[in-house]
Structure formats: structure tokens, C-alpha cells
Amino acid sequence: MVAKKRSSMGSLNQQAVDQTNQQLSAKEIEVLTRTSLDWTKLKPKTADTALYDQLIKEVKESTEKNENLAQLRSRLESLGKEGLSLAKEVISLIP
């Protein structure tokens, strides 16, 4: 059997996953779930309010369901590169 060649989409997907792993460490993700955040107060400090609302939804759902950090990471990955950047931005705003 001949080894199947990876498609360019598969390669791009793997690159996105690798970048996510580099962008958001487990410690940073834990900060989102373990820190009591005033999400409303941080919202005006972000540029994309619709994406910010989605980030809040994903973090709150994950917390309510008592999901582990890997599950939250998966939720954040679903927000795409912009969502991951926003998550990092929010983490940097936490005092």
C-alpha cells in the first residue's frame, strides 16, 4: 500500500494547531478559567466585540461544564487565529 500524501489543507491545519500550541500555553488557558474576570470591563479594550462575545461564551461554557484545559483549548482553537490572538490579549489585560 502506498502512503497517502498529505493534502495542503491537512498541512495548513497542522500548522494552525502547532501555532496554537505555541500561542497559548496551558498556564495561559488556566488563567482564563481560574481567574475571576470582569468580562464587561475588559470588553471596551478589545477591537472585535463580536469575537470577544464568542470568546466569553466558550470560556464560560467550558467552565460551567467543568471541562479540562485540553477541552477549553479545543474550544479556543475553534475561534481561529483571531480568536486565539484575542484570548492572549485578554490574558495580558488581567491584572
pTM above 0.75, yes or no: no
Q: Based on the domain organization, do 56 and 26 belong to the same domain?
A: no
Is 24 in a helix, a strand, or coil? coil
- Comparing 26 with 55, which gets the higher pLDDT? 55
* Pair 23, 58 in one domain: no
Helix (H) or strand (E) holding 76: helix 69-77
Does 56 share its domain with 83? yes
Q: Does pLDDT of 33 surpass 90?
A: no
CA–CA distance, 86 with 95 (Å, rounded to integer): 16
Residue 66 — left, alpha, or beta (φ > 0 → left; ψ -120 to 50 → alpha)?
left
Mean pLDDT in the chain? 78
Long-range contacts of the stretch 57-60 (C-beta < 8 A, 24+): 59/32, 59/33
Range of the domain at 57: 49-93
Residue 2 included in any domain: no
- Cell numbers standing for residue 37: 474576570
Cell output for 59:
470560556
